[in-house]
C-alpha cells in the first residue's frame, strides 16, 4: 500500500523557521510530483508548493521568497523549508504525492495525515 508520512511542524513565533519532511513508501514507485498543501480553520485547502518529476517548482504567491521545496529522489522524500513565518501561515500542512506504481502502472494520488504549523505573533 502506497502511503506518505509527514514529519516536522510545530509552534514558532513570527519571523521564525520550521521544516517539514515527507516520505513516500510502498510499492515500486515513480514520483510524478510532490506537493505541500495547507488548510487553515474555516478555509479551503490551498496549494503551497509543488515540485514535478522534471524538477519544475511552483509556489503560492503568499510564500514566494520565504518557503523552499526540495526533494531527494533516491529517498522518495520531499522537504519544505519555511522561513520568516507569519501568523497567516498557521494551518495543517499536508503532503501530496502523485505517483505511478510501476508494476501495475496505476496512477495514484496519496495524501499524508497532516501536520500542524502554528505561528504566534
Q: What is the mean pLDDT of each run of 10 residues along the chain (121 residues)?
A: 93 98 92 96 97 96 98 92 98 97 93 97 94
The pLDDT score that the predictor gives to residue 1 is: 86
The pLDDT score that the predictor gives to residue 73 is: 83
The pLDDT score that the predictor gives to residue 21 is: 97
What's the number of CA atoms in the CB half-sphere (13 Å) around residue 1?
4
**Residue of 96, 100, 16, 15 lying closest to 49 (CA atoms):** 96
d(CA 43, CA 18): 22
12 alpha-carbon distance from chain centroid: 18
d(CA 53, CA 91): 26
H-type alpha helices, the chain: none
The pLDDT score that the predictor gives to residue 75 is: 85
Amino acid at each position: 500500500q502506497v502511503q506518505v508520512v509527514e514529519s516536522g511542524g510545530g509552534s514558532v513565533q513570527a519571523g521564525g523557521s520550521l521544516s517539514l519532511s515527507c516520505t513516500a513508501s510502498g510499492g515500486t514507485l515513480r514520483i510524478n510530483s510532490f506537493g505541500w498543501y495547507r488548510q487553515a480553520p474555516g478555509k479551503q485547502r490551498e496549494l503551497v508548493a509543488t515540485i514535478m518529476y522534471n524538477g519544475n517548482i511552483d509556489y503560492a504567491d503568499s510564500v514566494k521568497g520565504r518557503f523552499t521545496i526540495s526533494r531527494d529522489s533516491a529517498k522518495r522524500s520531499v522537504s519544505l523549508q519555511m522561513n520568516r513565518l507569519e501568523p497567516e501561515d498557521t494551518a495543517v500542512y499536508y503532503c501530496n504525492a502523485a505517483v505511478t506504481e510501476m508494476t501495475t502502472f496505476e496512477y495514484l494520488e496519496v495524501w499524508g495525515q497532516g501536520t500542524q504549523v502554528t505561528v504566534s505573533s
